[in-house]
Amino acid sequence: MKTDFAVPDGLYYTKEHEWVRLEGDKCRVGVTDYAQNSLHEIVYVELPKVGANVAQMQSLGTVESVKAVADVYSPVAGEVLEVNNTLSDAPELVNKNPYGDGWITIIRPSDMAKDLASLMPPEAYKDLLKKITEKNK
């Protein structure tokens, strides 16, 4: 099993393996390298509806692979402003570039400071992955 996963600096992470990148007054959201690797070959991404209001850690949609279906949870509460429609035709982008072209949605957070307090910086997420991979050895 792979034990070395990309965890870029400048992002915040959830225990459910989503990432969030702050972009001014908006947040770009996707699934982590660990999540996409665990799912294997992604074949479908169910995207949230633009205009939907989501609570922190509410399901935004699902990512489906040949192996499993996983919920994607919102790292922040707020309004869905945009979705990555490219994933409808190319869901494999989540596997190929989870922190780039494989992003899932952009949200305008309703209380960024409150939500950030419950998210992990990169070092804490790396520690979580280390515990998970050691337990699975």
pLDDT at 82: 98
Q: What is the identity of the amino acid at 103?
A: W
Which structure tokens are listed for 14? 């959830």
Q: What is the identity of the amino acid at 48?
A: P
Radius of gyration, CA atoms only, the chain: 14
Question: In whole angstroms, what is the distance from residue 81 CA to residue 53 CA?
Answer: 10
User: C-alpha angle with apex 123: 82 to 17, nearest 5 degrees?
Assistant: 40
Q: What is the mean pLDDT of each run of 10 residues along the chain (137 residues)?
A: 85 98 97 95 97 97 94 98 97 97 98 95 96 83
**Torsion on CA atoms 88, 90, 92, 94, rounded to nearest 10:** -60
pLDDT at 1: 52
For the chain, how long is the longest CA-to-CA vector?
42
